[in-house]
Amino acid sequence: MDFANLPMDLKEIKLFNVGILIVATLVVAKILSSLFMSGSKKNLPPVVKAWPLLGGLARFMKGPIIMLREEYPKLGSVFTVNLVNKKITFFIGPEVSSHFFKAPETDLSQQEVYQFNVPTFGPGVVFDVDYSVRQEQFRFFTESLRVTKLKGYVEQMVSEAEDYFSKWGESGEVDLKYELEHLIILTASRCLLGQEVRDQLFDDVSALFHDLDAGMLPISVIFPYLPIPAHRRRDHARKKLAQIFARIIASRKQTGKCENDMLQCFIDSKYKDGRPTTELEVTGLLIAALFAGQHTSSITSVWTGAYLLKNKQFLSGVVDEQKNLMKKHGGKIDHDILSEMDTLHRCIKEALRLHPPLIMLLRSSHTDFDVTTKEGKEYHIPKGHIVATSPAFANRLPHIYKNPDSYDPDRFGPDREEDKAAGAFSYISFGGGRHGCLGEPFAYLQIKAIWSHLLRNFEFELVSPFPEIDWNAMVVGVKGNVMVRYKRRKLVPGDDL
């Protein structure tokens, strides 16, 4: 038909009819597709109900843990939430988490979902390089955290704790959160960043790291390069840190000075092809190491103390352990003695179960795969989904942990071992599998070194109310002050306290 020769009103009618025909054809095709293909279509996970486009995002931004608490009882251990143009599929519980933790990088990748770290860590390291280079850089971390290295780090941790708490009076009242945060950054600076930073540049470097930290906002996950004041401070701090470490690295190389710290390990590291690390790479790796360890250790130290002071039976248990170790080893504390502190270890581990600083772990799916729930339901996870799990939620599942919201370090004892009853990924405060936290041994030693000193030299009383969780930070920590009253005393084996 020749539209050009029709009257104007007839043209409009014809065009309208053609439009209706096209729309109707598409609708029919969609219906037929769903009718004839539904039988062969693989079973996708249930989807969280929300308004189209922004509904899922609104629920997610209210708090992912709130959403998980609401949806897990209804949808089960595998479900999807639509966030604008992204689909996040959650795996909750050890029965469905095996693929998440064991899959190779070619199947489930960290790189895409953690790109927001690149402006902070800097170019050429961790999530700004391909997987093969990242694996070599992780090898540098592993070598810097070998037992022979850790033994030297423990000496520095103990020394820092003794020096810091020597400045306290015979009695007083302090904010435990403030005190432990400052001590952790001191010990981390000495063990990781080097003696030069600890002795000469601590205040400058600490302030710069504060600016870096302030640039890690929830909005940074989506818009890491947004030109806001916090990001500008972050970028300025990153540049200044690079200059500071460049001077330290050059000085060490020129003088031949060699220290027992992570900085030295990174300076001495070489890639498989023989190439040495660059100054920018060393700086980036150090920033990544400090970010991975500083917040998590300080947060866990505070929660450990708060729970011990609230639960006197467990406080008595760790004090008795210290008395027994002092009877055996005297006042000495080293790597091997810290490793004997099983009771204190369980108390720290339980604080971490209840309050893992990283509440979500993410991967990007590069391939289709299937997952089967503990009830036997099989779901198909398409390529392109973001796959997530939540330590904060999974660590409190009632079918794994008895009275999951209560503080009970004995649940990890040899007669119970609740963290192993449901499989390898029942406890995921440090992640697990291919991407388990390399710094886990360092963290436990650091917290034990601090609390063993405190338990041996002070009595404490929690003055403020038991702390609440600060959900507003990227790394979920302790809200407000944690005020404690202390009294200096010397623990003696055989004493009844």
Rounded to 5 degrees, φ, ψ at 172 are 165, -175
Q: Are the CB atoms for 448 and 460 separated by under 8 Å?
A: no
How many structural domains are present in the chain? 1
CB neighbourhood size of 495 (10 A): 10
**pLDDT of the residue at 19:** 46
User: For the purposes of burial, counting CB atoms within 10 Å of the CB of 178, is it exposed (0-12), middle (13-18) or buried (19 or more)?
Assistant: middle
Integer Cα distance of 115 and 257 in angstroms? 35
Rounded to 5 degrees, φ, ψ at 206 are -60, -40
Helices (H) and strands (E) in the chain — how many of each? 20, 12
Q: Is residue 31, in this structure, part of any structural domain at all?
A: no
* Alpha helix (H) residue ranges in 410-492: 418-421, 440-457
User: For the purposes of burial, counting CB atoms within 10 Å of the CB of 132, is it exposed (0-12), middle (13-18) or buried (19 or more)?
Assistant: exposed
Closest CA to 156 of 176, 124, 186, 181: 186
Q: Is residue 40, in this structure, part of any structural domain at all?
A: no
Q: Is residue 497, in this structure, part of any structural domain at all?
A: no
User: Which positions make up the binding site for heme?
Assistant: 437
Distances from the Cα of 372 to the Cα of 101, 109, 325, 379, 390, angstroms? 15, 21, 47, 6, 18
Rounded to 5 degrees, φ, ψ at 371 are -140, 140
Q: Is residue 9, in this structure, part of any structural domain at all?
A: no
Q: Is residue 495, in this structure, part of any structural domain at all?
A: no
Question: For residue 429, what is the DSSP state?
Answer: T
Beta bridge pairs of residue 389: 361
Distances from the Cα of 96 to the Cα of 77, 90, 136, 326, 437, angstroms? 7, 10, 29, 44, 20
Q: Are the CB atoms for 478 and 180 separated by under 8 Å?
A: no
- Count of residues in the chain: 497
Integer Cα distance of 139 and 137 in angstroms? 5
Going by DSSP bridges, is the β-strand pair 361-365/386-389 parallel, antiparallel, or unpaired? antiparallel
Beta bridge pairs of residue 80: 47, 89
Distance of alpha carbon 46 from its chain centroid, rounded?
27
Closest CA to 252 of 238, 263, 239, 243: 263
Q: Is residue 75, in this structure, part of any structural domain at all?
A: yes
Q: Which CATH number goes with the domain that contains 117? A: 1.10.630.10
Q: What is the pLDDT along the chain (497 residues), one digit of tens a residue?
A: 433 443 444 444 444 444 454 444 444 444 444 444 433 368 999 999 877 766 666 766 677 888 899 999 999 999 999 887 789 999 999 999 999 999 999 999 999 999 999 999 999 999 999 999 999 999 999 999 999 999 999 999 999 999 999 999 999 999 999 999 999 999 988 999 888 998 888 888 888 988 888 887 767 877 889 999 999 999 999 999 999 999 999 999 899 988 899 999 999 999 999 999 999 999 999 999 988 878 889 999 999 999 999 999 999 999 999 999 999 999 999 999 999 999 999 999 999 999 998 889 999 999 999 999 988 999 999 999 999 999 999 999 999 999 999 999 999 999 999 999 888 899 999 998 888 888 999 999 999 999 999 999 999 999 999 999 988 777 888 999 999 999 999 888 766 54
* φ/ψ bin of 276: left (φ > 0), alpha (ψ from -120 to 50), beta (otherwise): beta
Angle between helices 147-165 and 176-188 (to 10 degrees): 140
pTM score, whole prediction: 0.88
**Which amino acid is it at 127?**
F
Q: CA angle at residue 412 from 401 to 438, to 5 degrees? A: 100
Q: Are the CB atoms for 93 and 394 separated by under 8 Å?
A: yes
Q: CA angle at residue 408 from 318 to 321, to 5 degrees? A: 15
**pLDDT of the residue at 39:** 37
Q: Are the CB atoms for 126 and 280 separated by under 8 Å?
A: no
CA dihedral 438, 285, 266, 437 (to 10 degrees): 0
User: What's the domain range around 221?
Assistant: 54-488
User: Which positions make up the binding site?
Assistant: 437
Return the SS3 of 292. helix
Q: Which two tokens stand for residue 95?
A: 């029965």
Q: Is residue 34, in this structure, part of any structural domain at all?
A: no
Q: Are the CB atoms for 149 and 265 separated by under 8 Å?
A: yes
Q: Is residue 42, in this structure, part of any structural domain at all?
A: no
